[in-house]
Amino acid sequence: MTDKDPFEPVNDPSSPVEAIPSGNDASLPIDVDPSGDKIPIIWIILGVVIVLLLIAGIIFAVNVMINNPAQTETFRDIMIIFMAFVFLFIGLALTILLVQLARLTNLLQYEIRPILEATNETVGSLRGTTQFLSDNLVAPVVKANSSFAALRRAIELFGIRRPK
């Protein structure tokens, strides 16, 4: 075992913990490994490929729609129906959200507020009780103990001893 202080910083370069520099330490601060902040090149390439595929798909779809107007009208009608269902679903979700918001407001107004008021009243009562106990119980005991300690010290100083 070594006699080193466990709380003394150690300037060990292999340690992951940075040591606290001493006054005569002229070393440079430890740099954090920036490799964690870099995006790997594979993700950048993958992102570019996906964007290019999306652009190619849009160009292909527009070309097919221009060459086949009857199929484009059918596709348009299907998309209109699909959008109507989406808007219906969004309306239902907003209605549920409004109901939940109304229930939350009711909960806060009529259940949480009385609990907080009762808690505040209890804390005030507890504060008064501790003040009363401090004034009427603890303070006299502390005064009596300090008086007895002063009397005991005075007896020791004057050399009065108890008979054995």
Residue 21 has pLDDT above 70, yes or no: no
Q: What pLDDT shows up at residue 26? A: 54
Please say whether the dihedral angle defined by the alpha carbons of residues 19, 20, 23 and 27, taken in this order, is positive or negative.
positive
Domain residue ranges in the chain = 39-158
Distance CA 8, CA 19 (A): 9
Structure confidence by residue, pLDDT tens digits, 74-92: 999 999 999 999 999 999 9
Q: What pLDDT shows up at residue 119? A: 93
